[in-house]
Chains A and B, each alone.
Chain A
């Protein structure tokens, strides 16, 4: 009985729990990346632990600052490799991709699972019906040692997005719209369940864009149904048995927000807050110096297809830098095979290693003072891309690709009708 969160956590706790209850649950999979693994190892040692409870349930991913741009980072990477080797856990090294693409892609996370990651965008796997959430390094280390984590069972806000998205509007526009609706703190301590014909019509790639960003409204997780598309996605990747979890009809929600998105225009988040969202026409014409297509939000195969469809046979605007980071090695290989990379590179894009790229401001495209960037990432905080004097706007890959072609923020509906 209950919401998806209540049912998944009850099944793991071995007793019925409801919103507000404290429970201790076994964790099905764990992950940390190069920004968080160093402190995880530190906390692990502070706990005087020797062995990870289940090394096969833990993956270390080198993606945030990859390949290393400086010796201090190289040393952190080396420590990660050594730890993975000592513990017998999985390691995804330089070039494998972004953690939030790799965990689903490699079949590590299954519907009905409880998954934690030392990265706030771990909520991405909610699109696969996984109770997945970001934690700090100490919580992660505790789970590595004990195999468990404690949670306060979250209450849930239910979204139902009816209608059909118009041409030129994508899943990124839906989640930016949600950020505007809820604000950056509208779902703090809460889970979301996201349904409706708009979601049903989306690929799993597109759904992950939405669940990825629910932390931007403060949510713990953004859960979606385990439908045929999710089952196909999982079965193509693993033989492991799984069972999707549905909310019961009697589930109690904090709120139910129902909206028809058939008229939603492309959305843009303006500097320096993710919930500072406007319709594209409010900022169309804003001159751009750099466009970045990639990240755990929008670096998947479908995203690269959309961008290459727009840029194929065209050119990036003179003086503008277009940087593309495929979300994983497999995404890169698929995009090469399908000809997407060829089109993007011929149009003038710089394709960098599968990684987080310049999203976190560490390498691969730090903007200069007074520059303006349009990015498909999930955060546009001041200084996010490494320079406090740069302005960052967020959009869908379609808006980003079309804007890169014109040199300013533009309404992609001009070419997608």
Chain B
């Protein structure tokens, strides 16, 4: 996985998956490109139009709290978000991101401001704030998750190895 470069869109603590994609939409279609138009609509209307491909969602503590809906990471991906970056993540969302191949980066985001240009290197575990000229070391992904992510998500992992290939970790 090579480093990604994009703009930061900042959010606060406890950004839950209901906010990423509202329950009232998730039942209407399984077409994620269609659902993506409603990303973050309840807390930031118009967010879909602000995203340029490869941008980052940057949040505080407990990103992805609440519902297990996998529509949340899928919609972010479909909207063009390159990675989600936060101080900490809720458990189910964290797994779901990895499973669908959306990179997650756990790092101190307190110095990142809206619109800052970031360089995110998931494999090396480094986030560089190009705008501010600062650099931060991310908490490394657990090896099992790095393996699933580098295989392209859990479905691809299972196909590639004909089952789980995580035990040796």
Interface residues on B, range: 35 or more
Query: Is the CB of A108 closer than 8 A to any CB of chain B?
Result: no
| Known contacts A22-B166, A185-B62, A218-B90, A72 near B29 by CB under 8 Å | yes
Query: Is the CB of B49 closer than 8 A to any CB of chain A?
Result: no
A-B CB pair tally, cutoff 8 Å: 143
Cα–Cα distance between A381 and B142 once the two chains are bound (Å): 30
Query: Is the CB of A184 closer than 8 A to any CB of chain B?
Result: yes
Q: Does the CB pair A24–B167 fall under 8 Å?
A: yes
Contacts of A39 in B (CB 8 A): 30, 70-71, 74
Q: Which of B97-117 contact A (CB under 8 A)?
A: 99-100
Which B residues are within 8 Å of any A CB, using their own CB? Answer: 13-14, 16, 18-19, 22-24, 26-30, 42-43, 61-62, 65-71, 73-74, 88-92, 95-96, 99-100, 142, 144, 153-155, 158-159, 163-164, 166-167, 169
Q: Does the CB pair A218–B62 fall under 8 Å?
A: yes
Q: Which of A370-417 contact B (CB under 8 A)?
A: 379, 381-384, 386, 388
Cα–Cα distance between A150 and B28 once the two chains are bound (Å): 31
Residue of B nearest to A48 (CB): B159
Cα–Cα distance between A47 and B69 once the two chains are bound (Å): 19
Count of residues in A whose CB is under 8 Å from the partner chain: 55
Q: Which of A102-120 contact B (CB under 8 A)?
A: 118-120
Q: Does the CB pair B158–A188 fall under 8 Å?
A: no
Residue of A nearest to B163 (CB): A146
- Select B68's contact among A42, A65, A118, beta carbons within 8 Å: A118
Residue of B nearest to A39 (CB): B70
- CB of A166 to closest CB in B, whole Å: 31
The listed residue with most B CB atoms (<10 A of its CB), out of A35, A64, A73, is A35
Q: Does the CB pair A361–B70 fall under 8 Å?
A: no
Beyond A39-B70, A65-B27, A136-B95, 6 extra complex contacts between A and B, CB < 8 Å: A24-B164, A35-B69, A76-B30, A146-B158, A185-B65, A382-B42
Q: Does the CB pair A148–B155 fall under 8 Å?
A: no
Contacts of A38 in B (CB 8 A): 30
Q: Which of A46-100 contact B (CB under 8 A)?
A: 46-48, 64-65, 70, 72-73, 76
Contacts of B90 in A (CB 8 A): 185, 188, 218
- CB of B8 to closest CB in A, whole Å: 22
Q: Does the CB pair B166–A46 fall under 8 Å?
A: no
- CB of A79 to closest CB in B, whole Å: 9
Q: Does the CB pair A42–B30 fall under 8 Å?
A: yes
Query: Is the CB of A198 closer than 8 A to any CB of chain B?
Result: no
Q: Does the CB pair A22–B22 fall under 8 Å?
A: no
